[in-house]
């Protein structure tokens, strides 16, 4: 491999997701394999500005593949959004003889990296780490599979109590702009209705569906709601609306919240993180720059980072149709 890069730094930024530690481990060990120095940057871009760096080798990342969160910590940096902040960050990288960056994070992380790359022509490769699975150029982002399993496990437990008490539960899952978690967790847990940002079901249709469920003999129901659902009401307002307009339902709300971002990563996320970390390091050593590592049809590919940021991931229309059929 053609190699003018002698030292690669890795950071995690934005919201954490299961699999980030596994991606750090993979990046560090790929560097060690190719005899390239690796530096960890604590607290994302904030740490880059402050020079909060630590040397990492293959032994530094023992026993982290199974850990949730990120041992390098994550932070959102308002200073990095300014030219002055990015100049400070660049000066720290030069001072420490760092030649390239691996950025693990989501849309905001990649946007910051792309601007930094434009200003300083500094080699970067992104690894998509976000539970929302909302980045174009990859079928799966790190943490999405784990978050799905967490959500389904929680909904299964909620169903136990819902059926015991003949209750209707609204379960809110993460997904402000996209409904991938809601749709897949809803189908996987047998939800009666699934409300996602991409499709405005409408309140009348929701009432009609719940009424039909009751008439068909269902004594309890689960409605999975993405936090960005377009009915115009949050999950508690939805509960109030149903209670006011539909008799015979004892309605409860459960917001899964940040538990979806925690926990040990699934085997799928650990393997994906391992593949992505190796690809990121080897792509930098080959002279590639300003790309995101993604998985497309189970192959690890590179995708231009600017297109990943500007694109919009699409909801699975076929799965929406399946969810309608399953709720009969």
Distance CA 266, CA 314 (A): 24
* pLDDT beyond 80 at 97: yes
Fold of 144-261: Rossmann fold (3.40.50)
* pLDDT beyond 90 at 199: no
Strands 291-296 and 299-304: antiparallel
DSSP one-letter string for 233-295: S-HHHHHHHHHHH-TT-EEEEEE-GGGGG-SPPPHHHHHHHHHHHHHHHHHHHTT--SEEEEE
Residues 29-71 pLDDT 10s: 999 999 999 999 999 999 999 999 999 999 999 999 999 999 9
Q: Mean pLDDT, to the nearest integer, of 231-238?
A: 82
Give the pTM.
0.94
Residues 108-144 pLDDT 10s: 999 999 999 999 999 999 999 999 999 999 999 999 9
Range(s) for CATH 3.40.50.460 in the chain? 144-261
Q: Is the dihedral of CA 15, 16, 20, 24 positive or negative?
A: positive
CA dihedral 258, 259, 261, 264 (to 10 degrees): 160
**Per-residue model confidence (pLDDT) at position 156:** 96
**Per-residue model confidence (pLDDT) at position 165:** 86
Range(s) for CATH 3.40.50.450 in the chain? 7-143+265-310
**Per-residue model confidence (pLDDT) at position 234:** 86
**Per-residue model confidence (pLDDT) at position 75:** 87
The residues that are catalytic are 132
Residues 166-196 pLDDT 10s: 889 999 999 888 999 999 999 999 998 999 9
Question: What is the rounded average pLDDT for all residues in the chain?
Answer: 93
Tokens of 184: 């897949």
Q: What's 7-143+265-310's CATH class?
A: alpha beta
Residues 281-323 pLDDT 10s: 999 999 999 999 999 999 999 999 999 988 888 899 999 999 9
Task: Name which residue leads in pLDDT, 305 or 228.
Answer: 305
Q: Which of 114, 64, 116 is nearest to 87 (CA)?
A: 116
Q: Check if the beta carbon of residue 16 is closer than 8 Å to that of residue 261.
A: yes
């Amino acid at each position: 491999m053609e190699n003018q890069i002698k030292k690669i730094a890795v950071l995690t930024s934005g919201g954490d997701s299961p699999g980030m530690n596994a991606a750090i481990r993979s990046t560090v060990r790929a560097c060690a394999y190719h005899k390239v120095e690796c530096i960890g940057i604590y607290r994302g871009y904030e740490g880059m500005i402050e020079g909060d760096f630590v040397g990492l080798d293959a032994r530094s990342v023992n026993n982290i593949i199974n850990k949730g969160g990120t041992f390098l910590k994550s932070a959102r940096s308002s200073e990095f959004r300014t030219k002055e902040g990015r100049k400070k960050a660049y000066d720290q990288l030069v001072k420490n003889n760092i030649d390239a960056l691996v950025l693990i994070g989501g849309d905001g992380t990649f946007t910051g990296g792309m601007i930094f790359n434009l200003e300083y022509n500094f080699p970067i490769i992104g690894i998509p780490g976000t539970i929302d699975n909302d980045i174009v150029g990859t079928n799966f982002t790190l943490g999405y599979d784990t978050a799905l399993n967490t959500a389904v496990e929680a909904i299964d437990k909620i169903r136990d109590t819902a059926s015991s008490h003949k209750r209707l539960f609204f379960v809110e899952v993460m997904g402000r702009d996209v409904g991938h978690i809601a749709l897949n967790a809803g189908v996987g847990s047998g939800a009666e209705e699934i409300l996602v940002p991409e499709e405005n079901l409408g309140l009348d249709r929701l009432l009609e569906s719940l009424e039909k469920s009751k008439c068909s003999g269902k004594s309890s129901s689960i409605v999975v709601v993405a936090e960005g659902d377009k009915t115009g009401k949050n999950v508690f307002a939805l509960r109030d609306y149903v209670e006011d307009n539909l008799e015979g339902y004892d309605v409860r709300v459960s917001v899964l919240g940040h538990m979806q971002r925690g926990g040990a990563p699934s085997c799928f996320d650990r393997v994906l993180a391992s593949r992505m970390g190796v690809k990121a390091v080897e792509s930098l050593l080959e002279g590639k720059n300003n790309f995101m590592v993604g998985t497309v049809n189970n192959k690890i590919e590179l995708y231009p980072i600017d297109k990943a940021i500007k694109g919009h991931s699409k909801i699975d229309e076929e799965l929406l149709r399946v969810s309608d059929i399953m709720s009969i």
